[in-house]
Chains A and B, each alone.
Chain A
Amino acid sequence: MYIGIDVGGTCTDAVLLDRGLVRAMAKVPTREDLLSSLLEALDEIMKGVEGELVERVVFSTTVITNLIAEKKYDPVGLILMPGPGLSPSLYRFPTDTHIIQGAIDYRGREIIPLRLTEVDQAAAELAARGYRKVAVVGKFSCRNHRHEKEVAARVLWNYPDWHVELGHQVAGQLNFPRRVVSTYLTCATREKYQFFVRSVQEAISQRGIKGAIFILKADGGTLPLESSLEVPVETIFSGPAASTLGVQALTPPGETAVVVDIGGTTTDLALILSGQPLLASRGARVDDMLTHVRALAVKSVPVGGDSVVERVGKDIIIYSERLGAPYCLGGPLPTPTDALRVLGLTRLGDVDRAREAMQMLGAPLGLSVAEVASRVTTRVIETITREIEAMFSRWEQEPAYRVWEVLQKKKVRPSTVVGVGGGAAGFVSQIAARLGCYPVIPPYAPVANAIGAAVARPTLQVTLRADTEQGIYIIQEEGYQGKITERSFNEEKALELAKEWLCKRAARHGLEDCVEGLEVTRREVFNMVRDWVTVGRLIDVTVQTRRGILYHVGAGGTSE
């Protein structure tokens, strides 16, 4: 049996799945003490079920998101080696930043050496200002981490008890400013996250569960809880990923669908293209900083069932904030939920109070209660529909760097609109109608997020970059740099090597089973030609375990 738990801002949802069927579900309020909510939800779904029967528990949580949003972490200083390029004044990081000499180029060659006296000076200044955590990041450190390691060694030689985080270990992709932010946040949250993970492990074992514990990442993959300690920042934003995977599990395979998760104050939109959730092309924005964190492409629209509706002049305007419950539920001001109640699209709350709310809005304009209600819902539907259209065109506008990529670009439009969340029932059919789609409100929609967590697959990937001219290769995710000894090293051998590394990595995380059905997601080979002679090759390959969900729910547990 599988358990999925989604610790959201208001509610903690949990489900118990037994071979694709929902055995039990629970919804409890999320309290300040996350662990107690977690245990309460767990106890509710486990009534009469032995802990030993649970093979795995997956949860998604806002703990890191909240830590970051509330800045509940120790200060972290930055020591950076940006080398030539953008003016450092364009980099605005929210902490003490020290820029020192030293540069690596795009092929990992040193172009400016380090000056260790500058390292000493930067560290001393940070120490004087009370820092004991520092992130060290160099431009192109993912192509050669020597400078970062030398700086770290020097800092730790001066201050052995400091916590030093290195850029190349946090993010292997190109984009220096994002690598800085990702490293900074990793350094900032690691200790607190460690504490959280330990208490979760403790609590779960208290309930007699011996199965594996996983945590959902923003990209919809899971990691063993223990392994997530390496990458705490990747666990942010797992909530929207959970509901998207939940919809994937609750709808037929292979469909192109829009996921509309209508909550109290926001509506989260996600796309499932031919059965797979769409990943954002760049890393997620965290606390208004750009990071390398891979995430599903989720767009949050600031409108929901509890948004405040007001009349301004001759206009009726929906604001992005919430000032309590809908009027029909005893709240202070009219909301879209009141409009739905009047139109009979929801059974929530008191219909007379809902009518009163519409009356307040419409009377000065001479509009009937029904007219106001339909105007309010139309506004909400228009806003959401516009955002869905924009999401599709943004996806079509993704840059392409190869001829075949440009040629294969075609317009894809969804066939279904799948609604989950509180306000879904009232709005989804009209949104679907506008888009020319079928509306679907799947069974278990209120706990789709917990279902998504329960069925998410573990994901691992390995990116290998080989430079045969220099005779070196790099494993991005491991921050490993090795030598190529074989003279006849080629693309096929690179692929083999990448697969070996993925197996090693899987073994380290206790995920041996998932190496079956590996996917090659990137394969690039460039000949390096100097004076009309091929002097070497640059080979980039990325291999990953299968993405997606373990099975569809309610369909007899067929495997995808």
Chain B
Amino acid sequence: MKNNKTGLVFFPAFDWAISPTHPEREERLLYTRDQIFEEGVLDLPEIEEYAPRLATIHDIARVHFCVPRVQSQVTEAHLIAAGSATLLADAIVHGELKNGFALVRPPGHHAMRVVHGNRGFCNINNEAILVEYLRRHHGIKRIAIVDSDVHHGDGTQDIFYHDPDVLFISFHQDGRTIYPGTGFPNELGGPGAYARTINIPLPPGLGDETFHYVVDNLILPILEDFKPEFIINSAGQDNHFTDPLGSMRFTARGYAEFTRKLNPHLAVLEGGYAIETALPYVNLAILLALAGHDYSYVREPEWPGTMPENPERVARVQRVVEQLRNVWENRDRVDLDKIFGTGTFYQRRKHIYYDTDYIEEEQLERVRRCPNCPGYITIDSRADHGYGHPNRVFCVSIPFTACGACQTEAYDAYEQARGLAQYQFVYLQDKSTDTFLAFDRDKGQEWVSEGPKVGE
């Protein structure tokens, strides 16, 4: 019998906050709790609430290079948020649930592959941890992440930029007007994963109607072509018309309709800081949409009705949609050498600012352009905390589907970096064997983390 239930993990982390008055604080999901409880939603037979569980340190190490180690960048609350997503994914894969909603704090989509501290309220990336977990534990290969937060999901983009099997689509307020200032249509993925990253910047003030134009004319057709085995919605609620950080005009109903059309396997809460005027209603509407219930009675008190859109802005969106559809349709015909050059390695320099922890990071990322696999990646990262010497680390990442040559070369790169005095820490992340190494120069020690074998 096919189960038709929607799973929910509600983990508001009522005893965890970045700081007492920070927008990402205990109060964030308080009114959502009240609304969901009062509606009696959890008594509906189609909805099943699960107790949260903790992700393992190994689940994090499979994705991130946490400096100096995982334990120093994550609290238990982070492990619970990430673990709740993997818990629901297990139940979905096993057929206990048709879909799920990890309504959890803290969020994660600004956390990049290398983690020196907290960025945009995020330390570890819940969706990325989920993706690697699905591949390792359930052998799921093709996965799509659609990010509906008002902010560009730059962390998720960073982690999957060279991964041809993960399609990352983010629509968000134009980066010239909002944190983190990225997410433009020309950011399309590296040479081995071209057009697997799709960014749709939206002009501020845009409402439901144009939002759905993008969904219908770009996002859904691309997903149909890509044929993912699993769809994750990075469900940020800060596109709402009352959000204090964003300037968009989406409504709870707009979000619910999007959820119904996208039909994700799992929605994972990201941002959303209108804790009274948006979150109780948007979260409820999304939950109802996932469960296949009527959400048309969910209406925010300040609901503005449908608003006329600025035609000039709508035209701008239509041009971006057209341009990206072109990119998508011609993705296999483009001359990658023209875009990325012809070297054995493709490399890019990145400057990353940690807005919460005031860290400036400089990165040199290199990916091997391998004809047989997505290629291994190395990152030379230097983080300036504003005091003392900057931290310099070297990271090597071997993809899940690495070829033997890349694997050997990557291990050599790790050994070589261990011999260089400038790196305080050297890391190796071998996703193909699920093994992670970290070398601490001062102590002259190496840690090894080997995950549970598949099926355990």
Contact = CB atoms under 8 A, between A and B. Distances in A.
A407 interface: yes
B447 to A, nearest CB: 24
A105 B275 CA distance: 13
Contact of B44 (A90, A524, A526): A90
A529 B43 contact: no
Interface in B17-57: 20-21, 25-27, 30-31, 33-35, 37-41, 43-44, 49-54
A264 B26 CA distance: 51
B76 interface: yes
B33 A175 contact: no
Contacts of A178: 40, 43
B402 interface: no
Given A86-B39, A86-B297, A174-B37, A401 B10 contact: yes
Given A90-B294, A526-B30, A399 B41 contact: no
A404 B15 contact: yes
A15 B33 CA distance: 46
A527 B20 contact: yes
Given A90-B293, A403-B13, A527-B27, A140 B51 contact: no
B108 interface: no
Contacts, number: 121
Interface stretch (A18-26, A193-201, A531-539): A531-539
A397 interface: yes
Given A105-B301, A106-B34, A403 B16 contact: yes
Contact of B76 (A84, A282, A407, A527): A407
Most buried by B among A85, A86, A399, A533: A85
B50 A399 contact: yes
B289 to A, nearest CB: 12
Interface residues of B, number: 50
Contacts of A529: 20-21, 25, 27
Given A87-B294, A403-B76, A407-B76, A397 B280 contact: no
Nearest to A538: B30
Interface in B275-313: 276, 280-281, 284, 288, 293-301
Given A106-B34, A400-B51, A527-B27, A175 B40 contact: yes
B374 interface: no
Interface in B182-198: none
A139 interface: yes
A107 B38 contact: no
B297 A88 contact: yes
Nearest to A103: B301
A526 B30 CA distance: 8
B38 A106 contact: yes
Contacts of B44: 90
Contacts of A487: none
B39 A176 contact: yes
Residue in A174, A396, A534 with the greatest tally of chain B CB atoms within 10 Å: A174
A409 B11 CA distance: 15
Interface string B90-101: 000000000000
Interface string A196-222: 000000000000000000000000000
Nearest to A533: B21
B34 A174 contact: yes
Given A397-B51, A400-B52, A527-B20, A174 B38 contact: yes
A534 B14 contact: no
Contact of A85 (B15, B76, B284): B284
Interface of B: 9-16, 20-21, 25-27, 30-31, 33-35, 37-41, 43-44, 49-54, 75-77, 80, 244, 276, 280-281, 284, 288, 293-301
9 A-B pairs with the lowest CB-CB distances in the bound complex, closest first:
A106-B34, A177-B40, A87-B294, A174-B37, A111-B301, A84-B299, A174-B38, A402-B15, A397-B51
Given A396-B51, A534-B20, A534-B21, 13 more contacts: A84-B298, A86-B40, A88-B297, A90-B294, A175-B40, A176-B38, A398-B51, A400-B11, A401-B11, A402-B14, A403-B75, A403-B80, A527-B25
